[in-house]
Amino acid sequence: MQQGLTQALAELKKNHLKVTKQRRALLTYLLANQDHYHDVTLVDDYMRQQFPGMSHNTIYRNIKEFEEAGMVEQQVQGDHARVKYQCDFSHLHHHHFICQHCGKVTELKECPMDIFEAQLPGYQINGHRIELYGLCPDCQKLVAQ
């Protein structure tokens, strides 16, 4: 995990974001839990336990800055936001399989956009996000028992 933190701190500096003890703690938390999305309110609760004087706005602003820097991925459904640490800085464009039982996130390396573009001649696609849902192998074994 130390290597991951070193890389995360380097990404902060690369994006002209100051390394503070709060940002270091937030990155450490996200790195320790990087294979799942986490409700932003739970991240906020954790940070406010660590730093009681820290405001909600500061926590949410840091998450937003991390997202803009490509350090975290955010998933928003209605007014419910979840966040996780970036899977792989060498593949910023990627998609996920998310286990509906345990919540584990697995990165997909390939992008199927060619298939969709072929079905939309003349259309301009400005972005996309693909998430597949189902059961991971471990949870399939649990459900089968």
Residue 59 corresponds to which tokens in the numbers above?
A: 């926590």
80 annotated among ligand-binding-site residues: no
96 annotated among ligand-binding-site residues: no
101 annotated among ligand-binding-site residues: no
Q: Compute the chain's Rg from CA coordinates.
A: 17
CB atoms within 10 A of CB 112: 11
87 annotated among ligand-binding-site residues: no
128 annotated among ligand-binding-site residues: yes
CB 94 within 8 A of CB 87: yes
Please count the CA atoms within 13 angstroms of the CA of 79 that sit on its side-chain side: 0
End-to-end CA distance of the chain: 34
Q: Element (H or E) spanning 116, and its range?
A: helix 113-118
Say which residues have a Cβ less than 8 Å from residue 53's Cβ, sequence separation at least 6: none
94 annotated among ligand-binding-site residues: no
- What are the φ/ψ torsions at residue 108 (nearest 5 degrees)? -105, 130
Annotated binding site: 93, 99, 102, 128, 136, 139
Annotated binding site for Fe cation: 93, 128
Annotated binding site for Zn(2+): 99, 102, 136, 139
